Amino acid sequence: QVQLQESGPGLVKPSQTLALTCTVSGGSITRAGHYWTWIRQHPGKGLEWIGYIYSSGTTYYNPSLESRLTMSVDTSKSQYSLKLSSVTAADTAVYYCALEDPYGLKYWGQGTLVTVSS
Amino acid sequence: DIQMTQSPSSLSASVGDRVTITCRASQGIYNYVAWFQQKPGKAPKSLMFGASNLQSGVPSRFSGSGSGTDFTLTISSLQPEDFATYYCQQYDSYPRTFGPGTKVDVK
């Protein structure tokens, strides 16, 4: 059973960079066909797909965030990370890491609330 | 991007009711639709993939159907633990997109 856990600051100042890490356990981060994904949910709103990273480092970013987004993976630590630069209040959201495999987005982290405020 | 719409946006129902939620894609997506259930303060839970395939452990009162652009999620007999918000999601192309959600609450 794959488990994912987000970690990172809960408060980020405007114009700074939001950085989160997802730690994977119970499964291999290098398994073929596994796309390590980030999703966010603005308070009281729906779900927004941010992007994925594959264990090889291949990424796909949502074009709406692409210019500010960087994802990376550390297979030795079974972790992958997200960095979102130049944040504004509009980036305040619960950020989830999740695994997409051939059965869809089956496994999710519990989510972490990131507030952008001075 | 493929736009996903859902109807209704909310509904009120009673335990034992049959509930149907519809999801429409802005273009054909074969059967690459997933359904999620989300309760307040919790991460979404995957219910279904491939439009009609139940994730392991999901009760059989949940069922899904559809292909192309129109999809449905049906709960055959609503249980107390089913009051939640439901989202559809397409995974035919990138970026993945979700519907806006359907909130099922107590009548």
User: Stretch A86-104: mean pLDDT, rounded?
Assistant: 96
Confidence of residue B104 (pLDDT cuts 50, 70, 90): very high
- Residues in chain A whose Cβ is within 8 Å of chain B: 46-49, 51, 60, 62-64, 96, 100, 103-106, 108-111
Q: What is the DSSP letter of A13?
A: -
Q: pLDDT value at position A88? A: 98
Q: How do residues B66-86 score in pLDDT, each as one tens digit?
A: 999 999 999 999 999 999 999
Mean pLDDT in residue range B50-61: 96
Please compute the mean of the pLDDT values over residues B33-58 and round it to a whole number.
97
CB B16 within 8 A of CB B22: no
Q: Do B44 and B58 contact (CB within 8 A), yes or no?
A: no
Q: How far apart are CA A100 and CA B17, in angstroms?
A: 32
> Which structure tokens are listed for B78?
């609503």
Q: What's the order of all strands across the beta sheet hosting B62-67?
A: B4-7, B19-25, B70-75, B62-67
Return the pLDDT at B1: 96
Q: How confident is the model at residue B105 (pLDDT cuts 50, 70, 90)?
A: very high
Chain B CB contacts of A111 below 8 Å: 43
Chain A residues touching residue B45 (CB < 8 angstroms)? 108
Structure tokens, A58: 């291949």
Cα gap A85→A94, rounded to integer Å: 16
Nearest to residue B85, comparing CAs of B64, B100, B101, B99?
B101
d(CA B24, CA B84): 20
User: What percent of chain A lies above the pLDDT cut of 70?
Assistant: 100
Give the model's pLDDT for residue A54.
96
pLDDT band per the 50, 70, 90 thresholds, residue B45: very high
User: Any residues with CB less than 8 A from the CB of B98 and at least 6 apart, and which?
Assistant: A46, A47, A48, A49, B4, B36, B87, B88, B89
The answer to whether the CB atoms of A106 and B49 lie below 8 A apart is: yes
Residues in chain B: 107
Q: Touching check for B83 and chain A: CB below 8 Å? A: no
8 Å CB contact of B97 and A108: no
Compute the distance between CA of residue A71 and CA of residue B55 in angstroms, rounded to an integer: 28
Q: Which residues of A touch B36 (CB under 8 A)?
A: 47, 105
- Out of B1, B45, B87, the one facing A47 most closely (by C-beta) is B87
pLDDT in tens, A29-50: 999 999 999 999 999 999 999 9
The per-residue pLDDT for B14 is: 97
Give residue for tokens 């129902």: B13
Burial grade of A57 (CB within 10 A; 0-12, 13-18, 19 or more): exposed
B34 shares contact with chain A (CB less than 8 Å): yes
